């Protein structure tokens, strides 16, 4: 995940996006904490309405569940049956220090609060297609995926991991190295015609995700579906 400073130092005034005007989504974002650029709503809709199969959607990075709940809304809107499987350890930047900044709030307390918020939010907003949440870093998650492991998620539900995926939302550690590795792991399983959305990949950023887009734009196996301002790609071969 990008640092809070990196995300907000650019200011919303700089972001010109295609926006989805939707009463439900407005109420959702009021109640469900998250740092998601509003342009992602449009990109989620583009991808989900064109998903052809019922292969699962993979989300790397969950935070408080806003993006998961946006995706389940569009899945329902377009009568899609795809499951969402998320991966997050809820370990945040500077978590090796005891306190959050110069406050007296401990990182462990904050981590517990965010994880519990995720659980509460998906139960309220996505009860009919409750995302499966695997509490692992993305590298370990993909090791489980490669093994075809049957895993127990944070709600004590068993889920069979492995196999092809239809859509990946990459929103974990936003360094160049992790972004590239998350892409390579997703690419192994993404079906032809499937989609990948990179959070915080807009061209005006100057950190990992955005840097990796220089490679993605040259990748002949993918085409740019839209940039709003983050990049949505479709696998074409």
Residue 150 pLDDT exceeds 70: yes
DSSP label of 156: S
pLDDT averaged over every residue in the chain: 92
Give percent of the chain with pLDDT exceeding 70.
94
The span from the CA of 58 to the CA of 29, in Å, is: 21
Which helix (H) or strand (E) covers residue 8, if one does? helix 4-8
The span from the CA of 87 to the CA of 142, in Å, is: 9
Task: Label residues 49-84 b or e (16+ Cβ within 10 Å = b).
Answer: eebeeebbbbbbbbbbbbbbbbbbbbbeeeebebbb
Q: What is the CA radius of gyration of the chain?
A: 17
For residue 15, what pLDDT band results from cuts at 50, 70 and 90? low
DSSP label of 175: S
Give φ, ψ of 58 to 5 degrees.
-110, 130
From residue 157, alpha-carbon distances to 152, 194, 220, 227 in Å are 5, 26, 39, 36
- The reported pLDDT for the residue numbered 8 is 45
Helices (H) and strands (E) in the chain, counts: 8, 9
Single pTM value for the model: 0.91
Contact 14, 41 (CB under 8 A): no
Q: Identify the CA nearest to 154 among candidates 123, 109, 186, 185.
A: 123
Q: pLDDT by residue (tens digit) across 216-225?
A: 999 999 999 9
Q: pLDDT by residue (tens digit) across 62-104?
A: 999 999 999 999 999 999 999 999 999 999 877 788 999 999 9
What domains does the chain contain, in order, with CATH numbers?
Answer: 18-235 (3.40.50.150)
- Mean pLDDT in residue range 107-117: 96
Contact 91, 65 (CB under 8 A): no
Structure tokens, 101: 């900044």
Give percent of the chain with pLDDT exceeding 90.
84
Interstrand relation of 190-198 and 231-235 (parallel, antiparallel or unpaired): antiparallel
Structure tokens, 211: 């840097």
- The reported pLDDT for the residue numbered 7 is 47
- The reported pLDDT for the residue numbered 96 is 80
């Amino acid at each position: 995940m990008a640092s809070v400073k990196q995300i907000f130092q650019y200011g919303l005034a700089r972001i010109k996006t295609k926006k989805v005007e939707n009463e439900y989504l407005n109420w959702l974002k009021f109640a469900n904490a998250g740092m998601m650029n509003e342009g992602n709503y449009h990109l989620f809709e583009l991808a989900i309405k064109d998903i052809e199969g019922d292969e699962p959607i993979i989300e790397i990075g969950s935070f408080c569940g806003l993006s998961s709940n946006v995706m389940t809304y569009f899945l329902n809107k377009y009568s899609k049956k795809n499951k969402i499987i998320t991966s997050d350890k809820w370990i945040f930047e500077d978590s090796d220090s005891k306190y959050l900044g110069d406050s007296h709030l401990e990182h462990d307390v904050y981590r517990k609060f965010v994880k519990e918020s995720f659980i509460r939010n998906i139960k309220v907003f996505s009860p009919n297609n409750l995302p499966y949440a695997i509490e692992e870093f993305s590298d370990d998650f993909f090791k489980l995926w490669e093994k075809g492991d049957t895993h127990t998620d944070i709600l004590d539900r068993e889920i069979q991991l492995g196999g092809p995926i239809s859509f990946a939302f990459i929103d974990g550690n936003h360094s160049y190295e992790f972004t590239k590795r998350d892409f390579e792991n997703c690419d192994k399983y993404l079906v032809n015609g499937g989609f990948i959305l990179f959070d915080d990949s807009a061209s005006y950023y100057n950190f990992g995700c955005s840097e990796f887009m220089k490679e993605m734009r040259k990748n002949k196996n993918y085409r740019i579906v839209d940039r709003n301002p983050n990049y949505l790609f479709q696998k074409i071969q």
